[in-house]
Amino acid sequence: MIRLERVTKMYKTSTRPALDRVSVEVDKGEFVFLIGPSGSGKSTFLRLLLREDVPTRGKIWVTDLDVAKLPRRKVPRLRQRIGVVFQDFRLLTNKTVGENVAFALEVIGKSPSTVRKVVPEVLELVGLEGKVDRMPHELSGGEQQRVAIARAFVNRPLVLLADEPTGNLDPDTSQDIMLLLERINRTGTTVVMATHDHSIVDSMRRRVVELDMGQVVRDEAHAVYGVGR
Amino acid sequence: MRTDFVAREVATGLRRNVTMTAAMVLTTAISLLMVGTGLLAVKTIDATESIYSDRLEIRVALTQDVSTADAECTQPICAGLRSTLENSPLVAGVTYENQQEAYQRFQELFAGQSVAELARPQSLPATLRVKLVDQDGSTEAGAAAVKQAMANQVGVRTVIDQRDVVAKLFDFLGGVRNVTFALALVQAVAALLLISNTVQVSAYTRRTEVGVMRLVGATRWYTQLPFLVEAVITGVVGAVLAGAGLLVGKIAFIDSLLAGIAQNGVIPPVTLADVLTVSVYLVPIGAVIAGITGYVTLRLYVKV
């Protein structure tokens, strides 16, 4: 599903590579935690998968798409296969919950009938049925993140990338969000989640890819965050 | 393509930046108004030139003795000059105006003024009025030939080229047209910068939307379209306002300003049809300029 082959990413402003010969393979339906200290390359890893950036060297495959060589006009095709969730939710504050989720379908040209059918389904999946007409500021942090997840998942992507999705949430709410991501993962969606949250990684016991100074220092199935961290 | 979605985004964008949008519309309107004024000036100047080129002639004024002695241009000196002129291929026609006819015209021109009472037929010269052949839109060659043929001829007092007098008027009108276009150009640059700026501000205020659109896989075209439509709409509204401005300008100023001279046929009137034609041209000009500016801005400055 996702394959990185000796991927290096250099930024002009830094002498040290943000990613240094990283090779990782993620199968369909896997749930992977991407961990490591700030500046270890987690965000760069996710940005490269999304083709927000191109690697300096190496190859990246997402499904059957050669991401680094993808012509610009085909980038939307890649991004329609990937859902993304951020720490800061990135909801549109002037739109209701339903409109926020519908927006993701409208901008890729889905018909109004599809939007009307799919939006309530996905809101029910994330546990927000009945809140379709609420504005984001009327929701709690956890609920806002659920809207963001609904928006990321509404087009049924093959891969869901989550960049610190629980970073702004309290432990109980974080746990709820993880249950939701797990449920999405069970539908066959591959989930790659960058996190600093020890307790979540430890409780989930999923595959852990640890980055440090841009290099993969650990890639372990059913792992914990790390001893003494 | 979801047109309802694009329309909604455009409406939101225009509403959110209402002051910038208003500034953009007004600047575009003013620059297009100037372009329109320039176009009307060109049209009027061209029409005026064609009116005068039909009327302008060379006048060969005869000496006092020939003028007095020959009222019908039948005697050798006047008839000789006349036949010389008529034989030239560059001359379209020659008419003779004797002293009595010159006097009558003088009385008409200066009716009610003291100079009309002082004039006597004997003090005015008889003239041969020469109409020239128009060659490729110019009577220059004919005028030169006539002047050369009449120079130092017995019986000729002076040769007056009416075109010399009118040339100054045309120079002035040409200057007015050039100044109008120069101002329109400066104003157009201001309008372009403002459109570019507004598109950038619009994209900035909607950066979250744009970010989400990119992330969920909206095409570049879909992401840019609302901004482009916004720019084109302001360009079109600006052009419509400019057209309305031209109309108001015609009714409120031009009509009263030119009323006398247009009625007398000195210059052609600026008609409603002229104003409407120019206004119709301004709409696509406004739309295309705003659209291209918006597109270039998005390509160069905005990551969408």
Q: Where are the domains of chain B?
A: 3-52+167-301, 64-154
| Burial class for A120, CB neighbours closer than 10 Å (0-12, 13-18, 19+) | middle
Strand A82-86 versus strand B91-97 pairing type: unpaired
Fold of A1-81+157-229: Rossmann fold (3.40.50)
* Contact status of B216 with chain A (Cβ, < 8 Å): yes
The predicted-structure confidence for A26-70, as pLDDT tens digits, reads as follows 999 999 999 999 989 999 999 999 999 999 999 999 999 999 999
pLDDT score, position A227: 56
Q: B1: which chain A residues are within 8 Å (Cβ-Cβ)?
A: 109
The pair of structure tokens assigned to A145 is: 């993140």
Query: Is B96 within 8 Å of B78 (Cβ atoms)?
Result: yes
Average pLDDT, chain A: 92
The predicted-structure confidence for A73-122, as pLDDT tens digits, reads as follows 899 999 999 999 999 999 999 899 999 999 999 988 899 999 999 999 99
**Most confident residue range from A55-64, B1-10, B41-50:** A55-64
Q: Tell me the H-state helices in B206-271.
A: 207-215, 220-249, 255-263
pLDDT score, position B8: 84
More reliable by pLDDT, B53 or A126: A126
pLDDT score, position B303: 66
* Contact status of B214 with chain A (Cβ, < 8 Å): yes
Q: B211: which chain A residues are within 8 Å (Cβ-Cβ)?
A: 90
- pTM value surpassing 0.80: no
Helix, coil or strand: residue A58: strand
Out of B208, B218, B219, closest to residue A90 by CB: B208
Q: Per-residue pLDDT averaged across A154-180, rounded? A: 93
The b-or-e profile of B253-273 (16+ CB within 10 A means b, else e) is: ebeeebeeebeeeebbbbeee
pLDDT score, position A36: 92
The predicted-structure confidence for B125-165, as pLDDT tens digits, reads as follows 999 999 888 777 677 788 888 888 888 888 899 998 887 77
What is the C-alpha separation between B130 and B60, in angstroms, rounded?
8
pLDDT score, position B127: 92
Whether the per-residue pLDDT at A143 is higher than 90: the answer is yes
* B216–A79 C-beta distance less than 8 A: yes
Average pLDDT, chain B: 84
Tell me where in chain A the CATH 3.40.50.300 domain(s) lie.
Answer: 1-81+157-229
pLDDT score, position A78: 94
Strand B156-161 versus strand B58-62 pairing type: antiparallel
Out of B2, B209, B218, closest to residue A76 by CB: B218
- Give me the architecture of the B64-154 domain, per CATH: 2-Layer Sandwich (3.30)
State which residue of chain B sits closest to A49, comparing Cα positions. B215
Identify the DSSP state of B138. B
What is the C-alpha separation between A186 and B235, in angstroms, rounded?
52
* Contact status of A104 with chain B (Cβ, < 8 Å): yes
Q: What is the dihedral sign for C-alpha B18, B22, B24, B28?
A: positive
pLDDT score, position B90: 86
| Percent of chain B topping pLDDT 70 | 97
Neighbours of B33 (CB within 10 A): 23
* A151–B5 C-beta distance less than 8 A: no
* Contact status of B208 with chain A (Cβ, < 8 Å): yes
The pair of structure tokens assigned to B296 is: 């270039």
More reliable by pLDDT, A125 or B203: A125
> B76: which residues sit within 8 A by CB, 6+ positions away?
none
* B216–A80 C-beta distance less than 8 A: yes
Residue B223 pLDDT class (50, 70, 90 cuts): confident
